[in-house]
Amino acid sequence: MSMIFGVPLAVLSGQLLIGVINGAFYALLSLGLAVIFGLLKIINFAHGAMYMLGAMVTVIMFDVMGVNYWVALFMAPLLVGAVGVLIEYFLLRRIAGQDHIYSLLLTFGIALLMQGVLTNIYGVSGLRYSMPDLFKGGINLGFMFLPYYRAWVIGIALVVCFGTWFMIEKTKLGAYLRAGTEDAQLMQGFGINVPLLVSLTYGFGVALAAFAGVLAAPIYSVTPVMGSHILITVFAVVVIGGMGSISGAIITGILMGVVEGLTKTFYPPASSAVIFLVMVVVLMFRPAGLFGKEA
């Protein structure tokens, strides 16, 4: 078998594929962050908590009402998105225009609150959620065993990422949105309800995180603390991609999944730090990130 740095090629291909799958998660999560920061200038530290909420809601809806995976895939983002709209309306709006640090602290507080309350109710051992029957099992690719569910995750995540990019960059609604955040007064003069647009944007960004949460529910331990681990990584991804850059978030997300996957193969203990190392290097040479525009 051919080897690369002591690792068989087959194993390496498997790791690359796994990296892309994890990267799809990062892309989905960092996309939401980038949308919220890019359009609203809010540093959303509640993003990990919203991801967690998406997964928790999925499990709870199943336990209480028997809501299945496919319905949850729409319902959970919708519900969590609605929570986001309320948070924007009642809290974030009050600090609009203030220094970024306020939104950071406020959303961090919201995240801790949600995490704490749910930990007290459900504990941290994890809630059980079965995979939909359709996705049980997998296919032997020769170099690795690919569970059907992981293949589905990468497919649907890419579709959603592309759809979001298209909507913001190429449609009229996206144009309104970008214009509204650029000059709210002017847009209001044109009869556009900018505050509503802002609420909906925050709700949408949050719903993206919840969507990632639903995708995560069948494969990871669903616990109230699941979001706190991933949040910092996702922030690093957004910084590397360039704060606010939509396409940057998507591409960097997938790229960082692969970088992390390779580290897990060659030197596993460094895998939790490698993304931050990349961040340091990128910021040294491109302070605005790989895809960010220089201020």
Q: Given the rule CB under 8 A, which residues bind other proteins?
A: 8, 10-11, 14-15, 18-19, 21-22, 116, 119, 123-128, 131, 137-138, 144-145, 147, 149-150, 219-221, 223, 225-226, 229-230, 261, 264-265, 268-269, 271-273
- Report the nearest approach of other proteins to the CB of residue 165 (Å): 25
Judged by beta carbon, residue 81 or residue 218, the one nearer other proteins is: 218
CB of 143 to other proteins, least distance (A): 9
Structure-block tokens of residue 117: 């309350």
Least distance (Å) between residue 216 CB and other proteins: 9
* Smallest distance, other proteins to C-beta of residue 217, A: 11
Cβ at position 277, least distance to other proteins in Å: 14
Nearer to other proteins, 236 or 243 (CB): 236
**Please, which residue, 44 or 115, has the CB nearer to other proteins?**
115
* CB nearer to other proteins: pick between 42 and 210: 210
Would you say 128 or 293 has its CB closer to other proteins? Answer: 128
